[in-house]
Amino acid sequence: MQKQSVTVIAPAKLNLSLDVRGLLPNGYHDLDMVMQAITLREQLTLRRSANLTVRMPGSSVPVNDKNTAVKAALAFFHYTGLLAGVDITIRKTTPVRAGMGGGSADAAGVLVGLDELYDARLSMSELCALGAGIGADVPFALMGGTCRVQGVGDLMKALPPCPPCWFVVVMPSVGVSTPEAFARYDTMGSPVHPDCQAQEDAIRAGDLKALCAAAGNALEHCSGAEETPAICALLNANGALTSQMTGSGAAVFGVFEEEAQARAACDALQKQYDKVYLAQPDHGGARVIYSRPVKPRTR
């Protein structure tokens, strides 16, 4: 049955570990990461339309040809050859310039939503190939769950679910530019190179403490995010098993074994920071949660 509109949720992500292994022949950084989707999610509503329009109520993200949602819609229509349009409304919850993949989640949500809205029936491989042309984290935003991700984000291996835990995520007052963070890494290097294989092994064993012991982010020391050490210290003082920056920053998260301790830490951090989020591991990626069929015409 033809659909009039669909609603999609698209999880944000955290980097449980992030290592930079060098440069690839194409000049991009060769990464090794364990990525985790979380229950902080963008929500998108896509409606059939003759035109392409994107709205992000209450968000400061510009809606132009550089917007990942716009790019995703254009890529989908170009690939499928559909002469159609869509009206997209995105309710953003993920902070911007945070290293949490909010823009990638938006793109993934648009691809999944359009596939459902127009019954295109693209495979996950096709969706990921389209996503990779939009941004390095879009394929993971489509896959979700827990993944070992390497290369420029194009090599993904699904892992068993992360051991049950809680995340307290803190966004500092200033965001980080990803290109600038990598440029500083090229100049400064990093004293931190996490053992991503040890973390994968810990996930396979269901060992949260070993997962945390293997955590780390090679970009943390060169991100330029000045508030990171203080936020990590606060999270650790409030019971986090480990704390670190995610992605290229600037968001920082702590891992907690118990819900009560995580909620108490969340309350403590909210006294000093405006944007503090409580989340859990999400076992999926961008997905449709509701679709509304076209009403039949009455004579």
> Which is the catalytic residue, given 106, 115, 137, 282?
137
> Which is the catalytic residue, given 13, 32, 106, 115?
13
CB atoms within 10 A of CB 3: 18
Instruction: Please spell the DSSP secondary structure of 218-261, one letter per residue.
Output: TTGGGS--TTHHHHHHHHHHTT-SEEEE-TTSS-EEEEESSHHH
The answer to whether 234 touches 268, Cβ cutoff 8 Å, is yes
14 burial (CB, 10 Å; 0-12 / 13-18 / 19+) is: buried
Cα–Cα distance, 129 to 106 (Å, whole number): 16
Cα-to-chain-centroid distance, residue 277 = 14
How far is residue 272 from each of residues 51, 52, 231, measured CA to CA in Å? Answer: 44, 41, 10
Cα–Cα distance, 298 to 257 (Å, whole number): 56
Cα–Cα distance, 266 to 110 (Å, whole number): 31
Helix or strand holding residue 96 (H, E) = none
The torsion region of residue 158 among left (phi > 0), alpha (psi -120 to 50) and beta comes to beta
Cα–Cα distance, 108 to 86 (Å, whole number): 15
Active-site residue, 13 included: yes
The answer to whether 10 touches 105, Cβ cutoff 8 Å, is yes
Residues forming the active site: 13, 137
